[in-house]
């Protein structure tokens, strides 16, 4: 104990401080960046580039936890980033919680990565500004196609405001997340932005600087789609 006290005192005197471990929310930001990178790396199974280019926002939940097989509830924490004004570049990521619904039997596994693309400004506004947003309720949602192009789109997919994807045990596929809800994660907002009263609307549509831990996620979003396509 004396040695530890002496070490802390020495660091304080020298102006140095013991290194602090990254918060769980900062680590989750890095995981979200990795999910997007891994998903887009396999071109024949990735999100079609033309859909990625048309998306107004992207929501990524690394490791959404599954409560029970097939009909179980879901719980996960992730981040949503939207195109900046003018369509070039991506906003600071707003922390969200995803709850309820089921990813269905075709996914399996206890944890699932989730990606949602919000395809128009109306869907983006509903997601960002709502205190509790229902996937498939307040905005139409459909399982997103995968592959090099979106030529496999159905009429339902073409009309959908949200395209949803999941990955578990290496399998990545479009999947219905109808019944899930999305809301702001105030704990993560407080940790990453220093004010848990801040709204996601302020983060995404305002000029809020992104936390350092978000650098890789924003870089990857720009890497895979730097400008909104009309």
How far lies 180's CA from each of 64, 74, 132, 194, in Å? 12, 8, 10, 28
Backbone angles phi, psi at 177, to 5 degrees: -115, 25
pLDDT at 106: 40
What is the predicted pLDDT for the residue at 176?
73
Per-residue pLDDT of the chain (230 residues; tens, 9 = 90+): 444 444 444 444 444 444 566 799 999 999 999 999 999 998 788 999 999 999 999 999 998 776 544 444 567 899 999 999 999 999 999 999 998 765 543 444 457 899 999 999 999 999 999 988 988 776 788 888 888 655 555 555 678 899 999 887 677 888 777 778 899 999 999 999 999 999 999 999 998 999 999 999 999 999 999 999 97
- Its pTM stands at 0.83
Q: Which helix H or strand E contains 219, and what residues bound it?
A: helix 215-224
Q: Do 117 and 127 meet the contact criterion of CB atoms below 8 Å apart?
A: no
d(CA 71, CA 104): 7
pLDDT computed for residue 74 by the predictor: 67
């Amino acid at each position: 104990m004396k040695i530890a006290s002496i070490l802390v005192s020495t660091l304080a005197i020298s102006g140095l401080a013991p290194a602090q471990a990254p918060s769980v929310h900062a680590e989750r930001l890095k995981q979200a960046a990795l999910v997007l990178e891994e998903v887009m790396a396999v071109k024949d199974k990735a999100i079609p580039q033309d859909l990625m280019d048309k998306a107004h926002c992207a929501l990524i939940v690394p490791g959404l936890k599954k409560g029970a097989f097939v009909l179980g509830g879901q719980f996960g924490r992730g981040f949503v980033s939207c195109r900046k004004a003018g369509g070039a570049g991506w906003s600071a990521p707003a922390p969200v919680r995803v709850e309820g619904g089921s990813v269905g039997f075709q996914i399996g596994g206890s944890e699932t990565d989730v990606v949602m693309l919000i395809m128009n400004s109306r869907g983006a506004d509903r997601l960002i500004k709502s205190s509790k947003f229902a996937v498939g309720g307040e905005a139409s949602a459909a399982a997103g196609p995968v592959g090099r192009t979106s030529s496999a789109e159905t009429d339902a997919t073409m009309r959908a405001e949200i395209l949803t994807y999941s990955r578990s045990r290496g399998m990545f596929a479009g999947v219905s997340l109808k019944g899930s809800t999305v809301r702001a994660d105030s704990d993560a907002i407080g940790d990453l932005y220093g004010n848990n009263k801040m709204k996601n609307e302020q983060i995404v549509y305002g000029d809020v600087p992104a936390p350092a831990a978000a650098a890789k996620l924003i870089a990857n979003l720009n890497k895979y789609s730097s400008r909104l396509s009309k």
